[in-house]
Chain A
């Protein structure tokens, strides 16, 4: 009787547990239907459960499955996957997303942050457990950390050992952008160019001369002061921010501190010297840019910072900021080589623990040759994109603030110059990183006059040291 009772209780307990679980599944039922609608919309599997598992990789009749994950759905990836599957019947590609749809405007910036945090946390945990997707779009993921912990495949040896891979087909400097001392762990499908759009006519009117192909920040400041002194069309040489996002000081802080990073952070001895007078001096110098009018925080200036994301974006930016405009190269740090500054986009890596690495590599090559995202890394695709735009003849820019925008004509000569800028791409812009985030987040107090440069520098030093010593 006594034991019977206990057994009964245990059974009841198990039933309860199971009931609880199944109950939960039904609670999230609304979500399942949402996923199904996602499928109807042509998004294959928005499941993010990041476990490929061996049984999946070698399932039904030796068919290999490559799991490819990215933060949000990408049409190009889907098309490429379909085409690749059609050409390779023994491979199936499963796309996996951190978000089931791309962010629209109503999702606040902060909300994105926590979604990113969730995506990185779950992908990290999967990668650390030796699972995770086979192929990863590294956007928002800690690629450096993956690399450091040998979680990504070295693609350098892949490229060297693969005769079908010809480096000459790609923009070489951009391709090498992900190169580090220990190897190369990701390849970009696309890149963007950073620089400025300048009002060519207004600049010519002031008579100020400069060589944007080789200028340093100091050269730029001098030029800026001359432009302001000329009292021409604009009050400021350049406005803070990028594109239409005018204002804030963190744009220049990031750019300039990133270019001077080596002066304040010694990566080998893991020491920061933001509390040095030099850094407070740099902050004051940046502030003087604003005070002297070289940098404005509202309205327009002779220059506008832009990131060129695609050929179309290039023309649209040139068109949007005046009738006679040109693209100018971003100023660089003293010791740096001159050239166009670029950022890699759609960086793809292969999971070092993947069971289908060869197949993933093959698909990665396919992606590099067959996708045309933004400014494509593949020279032929790049050229195609430009040709396509020329044939198209007009561009209708995206509407801003519900104001309807008029289509304009494609300027072939400008487009040809873009290829030149792309060929000259030489400097990888790297403005991410925890220390730079800390710098950008805390300098505002100085620029607004709330705190002294020294106080801000001390605070940055305090936090940067925590990061560096971890």
Chain B
């Protein structure tokens, strides 16, 4: 490697580091602000959404971007965790909704994906296209009919009203099909010659190879459903059954300081899960994107 290359590599690294810092900034700012006292938060950020009279110094009224707290304090966390029992119960509500969806959709999705990727049947591509379409549709499209179906099944105001549609979402099928499509036919054919049935092939050959795909899918589903707002809003009327996503949308507006701590707690499971499974996740996503 010559000097020029080394230098350009270094310059690139520096540029990238700056860019990475910009990318991480919103997350970092949330984290830092979560460790400020309520007083400090309101001192710096109270002006959000306010109009200050120009007669009273409104010309120079700006909120103050504060990167480091004067005092490191965990009072916001205490407020969220101890003083607000709602938060914890909603945290578990969220987990109780999201975990079954992630597990269920990964399972159901891989089974169906196997059929789409490795089995031949009439109308296969058309059916897959239909799956693809529903994945692209925004939630509002089927809102009212969905309500009718859920009501007909007697699921209204039960967590199954969120969990069951979640389990049968199309994204899992789509992603796993993309992933399985590039597992070489040679492997499945070899197993077939050895006398294995489709199910054995699925369990012994496909699933182990699809591990990164499953991991990536699980993370993506987790993020997506951890975030959902609309479905619980309509299908879970009881406040006690509400997931955290709804709570946070409320708290951000009313109590900004607590909002930062709640936000941090809210994103922590996602971030940890991502860091833990990152290499699988990356590999899984990458394999779903390139054609084998």
A–B proximity contact (CB within 8 A): yes
Asked if A111 and B250 make an inter-chain contact with CB atoms under 8 angstroms apart, the answer reads yes
Asked if B164 and A129 make an inter-chain contact with CB atoms under 8 angstroms apart, the answer reads no
B267 to chain A, nearest CB (A): 20
A19 to chain B, nearest CB (A): 8
Residues A1-50 near B (CB distance < 8 A): 1-3, 5-6, 9, 13, 16-17, 20-21, 23-25, 27-28, 30-32, 34-35, 47-50
Given A5-B203, A128-B147, A445-B51, the answer on whether A17 and B164 have CB atoms closer than 8 Å is: yes
Q: Which residue of B lies closest to A451 (CB)?
A: B51
Asked if B197 and A2 make an inter-chain contact with CB atoms under 8 angstroms apart, the answer reads yes
Asked if B92 and A110 make an inter-chain contact with CB atoms under 8 angstroms apart, the answer reads no
Which of A81-89, A119-127, A374-382, A408-416 is the interface stretch?
Answer: A119-127
Asked if A27 and B93 make an inter-chain contact with CB atoms under 8 angstroms apart, the answer reads yes
Instruction: Give a binary string over A431-461; 1 marks a CB under 8 Å from any B CB, 0 the rest.
Output: 0000000000000110111100000000000
Given A28-B93, A51-B151, A99-B239, the answer on whether A5 and B167 have CB atoms closer than 8 Å is: no
Asked if B89 and A21 make an inter-chain contact with CB atoms under 8 angstroms apart, the answer reads no
B2 within 8 A of partner (CB):
no
A266 within 8 A of partner (CB):
no
Asked if A110 and B253 make an inter-chain contact with CB atoms under 8 angstroms apart, the answer reads yes
Asked if A449 and B58 make an inter-chain contact with CB atoms under 8 angstroms apart, the answer reads yes
Asked if A24 and B237 make an inter-chain contact with CB atoms under 8 angstroms apart, the answer reads no
Instruction: Give a binary string over B99-116; 1 marks a CB under 8 Å from any A CB, 0 the rest.
Output: 110011001100100000
- In whole angstroms, what is the CA distance A113 to B253 when docked? 10
Asked if B89 and A30 make an inter-chain contact with CB atoms under 8 angstroms apart, the answer reads yes
B254 within 8 A of partner (CB):
yes
Asked if A20 and B54 make an inter-chain contact with CB atoms under 8 angstroms apart, the answer reads no
Cβ 8 A contact of A20, one of B52, B100, B157, B199: B100
Cβ 8 A contact of A21, one of B163, B241, B253: B163
Asked if B240 and A31 make an inter-chain contact with CB atoms under 8 angstroms apart, the answer reads yes
Asked if B52 and A27 make an inter-chain contact with CB atoms under 8 angstroms apart, the answer reads no
Q: Which residue of B lies closest to A50 (CB)?
A: B237
Asked if A129 and B148 make an inter-chain contact with CB atoms under 8 angstroms apart, the answer reads yes
B210 within 8 A of partner (CB):
no
Asked if A17 and B100 make an inter-chain contact with CB atoms under 8 angstroms apart, the answer reads yes
A108 within 8 A of partner (CB):
yes
Q: Which residue of B lies closest to A125 (CB)?
A: B147
- In whole angstroms, what is the CA distance A21 to B160 when docked? 6
Asked if A131 and B151 make an inter-chain contact with CB atoms under 8 angstroms apart, the answer reads yes
Given A6-B199, A117-B233, the answer on whether A28 and B253 have CB atoms closer than 8 Å is: no
**Which residues does chain A contribute within 8 Å of B167, judged by CB atoms?**
17
A114 within 8 A of partner (CB):
yes
- In whole angstroms, what is the CA distance A126 to B151 when docked? 9
B4 to chain A, nearest CB (A): 53
- In whole angstroms, what is the CA distance A23 to B96 when docked? 7
Instruction: Give a binary string over A119-144; 1 marks a CB under 8 Å from any B CB, 0 the rest.
Output: 10110011011010000000000000
Asked if A28 and B238 make an inter-chain contact with CB atoms under 8 angstroms apart, the answer reads yes
B144 within 8 A of partner (CB):
yes
B29 within 8 A of partner (CB):
no
Most chain A beta-carbon neighbours within 10 Å: one of B164, B203, B237: B237
B30 within 8 A of partner (CB):
no
- In whole angstroms, what is the CA distance A3 to B199 when docked? 8
Cβ 8 A contact of B238, one of A5, A17, A31: A31
B187 to chain A, nearest CB (A): 18
Asked if B249 and A114 make an inter-chain contact with CB atoms under 8 angstroms apart, the answer reads yes
Asked if B55 and A449 make an inter-chain contact with CB atoms under 8 angstroms apart, the answer reads yes
- In whole angstroms, what is the CA distance A444 to B100 when docked? 47
Given A28-B240, A48-B238, A108-B254, the answer on whether A449 and B96 have CB atoms closer than 8 Å is: no
Cβ 8 A contact of A24, one of B55, B97, B200, B246: B97
B53 within 8 A of partner (CB):
yes
B190 within 8 A of partner (CB):
no
**Which residues does chain B contribute within 8 Å of A113, judged by CB atoms?**
253
B188 within 8 A of partner (CB):
no
Q: Which residue of B lies closest to A446 (CB)?
A: B51
B72 within 8 A of partner (CB):
no
**Which residues does chain A contribute within 8 Å of B143, judged by CB atoms?**
125
- In whole angstroms, what is the CA distance A287 to B100 when docked? 57
A115 within 8 A of partner (CB):
yes
Cβ 8 A contact of B159, one of A21, A34, A51: A21
B239 to chain A, nearest CB (A): 7
Instruction: Give a binary string over B133-162; 1 marks a CB under 8 Å from any A CB, 0 the rest.
Output: 000000000011001100100001111100
**Which residues does chain B contribute within 8 Å of A50, judged by CB atoms?**
156, 237
Most chain B beta-carbon neighbours within 10 Å: one of A20, A51, A129: A20
A13 to chain B, nearest CB (A): 6
Cβ 8 A contact of B156, one of A21, A27, A49, A114: A49
**Which residues does chain B contribute within 8 Å of A48, judged by CB atoms?**
157, 237-238
**Which residues does chain B contribute within 8 Å of A117, judged by CB atoms?**
233
B48 to chain A, nearest CB (A): 13
- In whole angstroms, what is the CA distance A13 to B107 when docked? 8
B149 to chain A, nearest CB (A): 10
Given A28-B93, A49-B157, the answer on whether A448 and B54 have CB atoms closer than 8 Å is: yes
A448 to chain B, nearest CB (A): 4
Asked if B250 and A16 make an inter-chain contact with CB atoms under 8 angstroms apart, the answer reads no
Asked if A129 and B147 make an inter-chain contact with CB atoms under 8 angstroms apart, the answer reads yes
Asked if A129 and B203 make an inter-chain contact with CB atoms under 8 angstroms apart, the answer reads no
**Which residues does chain A contribute within 8 Å of B55, judged by CB atoms?**
449
A118 within 8 A of partner (CB):
yes
- In whole angstroms, what is the CA distance A450 to B197 when docked? 74
Which of A's residues lie within 8 Å of B, judged by CB?
A: 1-3, 5-6, 9, 13, 16-17, 20-21, 23-25, 27-28, 30-32, 34-35, 47-51, 98-100, 108-111, 113-115, 117-119, 121-122, 125-126, 128-129, 131, 444-445, 447-450
Sample of 14 more A-B contacts, CB < 8 Å, known A17-B164, A20-B163 = A1-B197, A2-B197, A17-B167, A20-B99, A23-B100, A24-B158, A27-B93, A28-B240, A32-B240, A50-B237, A51-B156, A122-B233, A126-B147, A129-B151
Q: List 8 A-B contacts (CB under 8 A).
A: A16-B100, A21-B100, A23-B96, A47-B238, A51-B151, A100-B239, A109-B254, A450-B52
Which 8 pairs of residues, A with B, have the shortest CB-CB distance? A31-B240, A2-B197, A20-B100, A449-B54, A24-B159, A108-B254, A27-B96, A48-B237
